[in-house]
Amino acid sequence: MSQGIKVNSRVLEMEYAVRGPIPHRAVEMAAQGRRIIPCNIGNPQALGQQPISFYRQVLSLLEDPGAITRERKFRGDGIADALPEDVIDIAAAMLDGSRTGSGAYTESAGFKFIREAVAGFIDSRDGIASGRPTASDPDSILLTDGASGGAVYVLEALISCPQDGILVPIPQYPLYSATITRCGGVLVGYHPDEEAGWALGRENLEQPLKAAAADGVEVKAIVVINPGNPTGALLDRQSMHEVVDVAREWGLAIIADEVYQENTYGQEWCSFASIIGDEPIPLFSLHSVSKGFYGECGHRGGYMEVRHAPSVVGTNLDLRDIFVKQASVNLCPNTMGQFLVHLMVTGPREGSETHRVFLEQKARVLDDLQAKASMIRGYFDQMDGVECFGRTGAMYLFPRLGRLPEGKTDFDYCMALLEQTGLVTVNGAGLGQAPGTHHLRIAFLPPFELIEEVMPEWVRFHNGFG
């Protein structure tokens, strides 16, 4: 083997721009003691965002079952700093619901009591009375290690030959391109209309479907990320209806990546499940504990809800059975991530002091994100040719950089921006963009003061780039 080994070409070809050469250079610069402002990853707690106390107090009690008895005793003894009673009660109830706590494998799809809580959350979020046909079913929910886990199951199952395609927005989150490459399918890109705020018309979706069909590619599903990543843009209702209409007419499943559903900054958001309703269009919707106001990326908690699961040709199974089998090979999602999903979909009891603090912390995080986004957008106005379209959602802005000097790419731009200011961003080519355009993605997560400090430097850099 001294001459080297041949590696699966599909694994070799996978690209993952978010952690590519630019962040690599940033690590080197940080090692030299230079200031780095990492805006390349949606990783809030690495940038100073504080965790929600309620979540962590409950998780802490779940890790050490002895702590529940101990905290009860502290309260009985009137010790100041004992944890609030409702926090202890919630932890105790969860431990009870789990039966086996954090240390045992769970069902491959995750704890049943948590899947029930997720179903209740979805029904209440979407305003659907439980028991109606459109009510969410705990047996159609899989808890996963982050939302990525669910996306990977769907793509691995759906891509059955090299002519199978997945319709993916351009730009897109590289999880999709990397996994489609690894599974050996075809990424069929569709281009939302940037200048219309990344909206979708019928033509944006049908043009690539027709081109794919002409090439002999069978498109099996469409990915929609709402709010968008990397665009950060909130999709309007009309665009969502276009997606559903096209899915119906072309026989596509919908993969709805809805992990930023809490990052909407006061604007209306609705789920694809509520748009589809009773219609038998297969839907895989993804959510996670990593984003929103929780930002618990490290815990790798998430879920996938499957609706209108199609039956599998040549078997008596439906697609949910396949997903559970896939999950069973990895045994189960991590338990602490599962518990955090439970907390995300339930929260503290209304009216308690715990609830008051929770709402305060939640508002602080979301208000801060909104303020940073709008401050950054303000500085874009001072940069020659820069435009940023769409209603702010998620944790990202995806400005169009305008015309770059002859021979320069957005990769060159982002690398130079890093060298000059310490700002780490992701260049548009790594995420996909319309030919001839140049963009970058910036996550608006570092502390307000730090962003405020660097923005004038970026303005100077931009206006002098060339």
Indicate the residue among 178 and 440 with the shorter CB distance to a copy of itself: 178
Q: Is residue 403 classed as helix, strand or coil in its secondary structure?
A: coil
- Closer to a copy of itself by CB, 197 or 310: give it: 310
Shortest reach from residue 462's CB to a copy of itself, in Å: 29
Taking the least distance from each CB to a copy of itself, the nearer of 232 and 295 is 295
- Binding residues among 145-184 for a copy of itself as defined by CB under 8 A: 145-146, 148-149, 152, 156-160, 174-175, 178-179, 182-183
- From first CA to last CA, the distance across the chain in angstroms is 47
Instruction: Provide, rounded to whole angstroms, the least separation between the CB of residue 337 and a copy of itself.
Output: 6
Q: Which amino acid is at 384?
A: D
Contact 290, 296 (CB under 8 A): yes
Q: Which residues pair with 144 in a beta bridge?
A: 302
Q: Kindly state the smallest distance separating residue 352's Cβ from a copy of itself, in Å.
A: 18
Helix (H, G, I), strand (E, B) or coil at 169: strand
Least separation, in Å, of the C-beta of 313 and a copy of itself? 4
Identify which of residues 14 and 459 has a Cβ nearer to a copy of itself in the complex.
14
Using the rule CB under 8 A, which residue among 335, 354, 421, 433 binds a copy of itself? Answer: 335
Smaller CB distance to a copy of itself: residue 76 or 127? 76
CB of 84 to a copy of itself, least distance (A): 12
DSSP, res 439: B
Is 24 a binding residue for a copy of itself by CB under 8 A? The answer is: no
Give the dihedral sign, CA 55/60/66/72: negative
Stretch that binds a copy of itself, among 130-138, 223-231, 295-303, 375-383 (CB under 8 A): 295-303
CA-to-CA separations, 48 to 45, 144, 365, 449, 455, in angstroms, rounded? 5, 26, 11, 12, 19
Closer by beta carbon to a copy of itself, 341 or else 401? 341
For 270-302, the DSSP string reads --HHHHHTTS---EEEEEESSSTTT--GGG--E
Residue 334 engages a copy of itself in binding (rule: CB under 8 A): yes
Candidate residues 108, 140, 239, 433; the one interacting with a copy of itself per rule CB under 8 A? 108
| Cβ neighbours of residue 79 closer than 8 Å, sequence gap 6 or more | none
Among 74, 113, 448, 465, the residue binding a copy of itself under the rule CB under 8 A is 74
CA 209 → CA 90, 156, 185, 327, distances in Å?
49, 21, 15, 31
Out of 128, 213, 312, 371, name the contact with a copy of itself by CB under 8 A.
312
- Residue closer to a copy of itself by CB (options 9, 374) is 9
Closest CB 385 distance from a copy of itself, rounded Å = 33
Taking the complex as a whole, how short is the minimal distance between the CB of residue 437 and a copy of itself, in angstroms?
Answer: 26
The helix/strand/coil state of 194 is helix
Query: Residue ranges of the alpha helices (H) in 126-271?
Result: 146-158, 174-183, 202-214, 237-250
257 vs 249: CA distance, rounded Å? 21
Q: Cα separation of 237 and 244, whole Å?
A: 11
* Spatial distance between the Cα atoms of 49 and 44, rounded to a whole number of angstroms: 5
What is the C-alpha separation between 205 and 238, in angstroms, rounded? 13
Q: Whole-angstrom Cα distance, residue 284 to residue 39?
A: 29
For the CB of residue 227, give the shortest distance to a copy of itself in the complex, in Å.
Answer: 19
With respect to a copy of itself, which residue has the nearer C-beta, 231 or 326?
326
- The reply on whether position 322 binds a copy of itself by CB under 8 A is yes
Q: How many residues bind a copy of itself (CB under 8 A)?
A: 94
Among positions 26, 37, 51, 262, the unique one binding a copy of itself when judged by CB under 8 A: 51
Taking the complex as a whole, the smallest distance from the CB of residue 281 to a copy of itself amounts, in Å, to 8
Smallest distance, a copy of itself to C-beta of residue 442, A: 17
Amino acid in position 326: Q
Q: Which of 133, 266, 329, 360 binds a copy of itself (CB under 8 A)?
A: 329
Handedness of CA 73, 78, 84, 89 (dihedral sign): positive
Closest contact distance (angstroms) between CB of 386 and a copy of itself is 28
Here's the x/- map for a copy of itself, 352-391, by CB under 8 A: it reads as ----------------------------------------
The CA–CA distances, whole Å, from 190 to 171, 212, 365, 394 equal 9, 11, 33, 20
H/E stretch holding 189 reads strand 186-190
Residue 277 interacting with a copy of itself (CB under 8 A): no
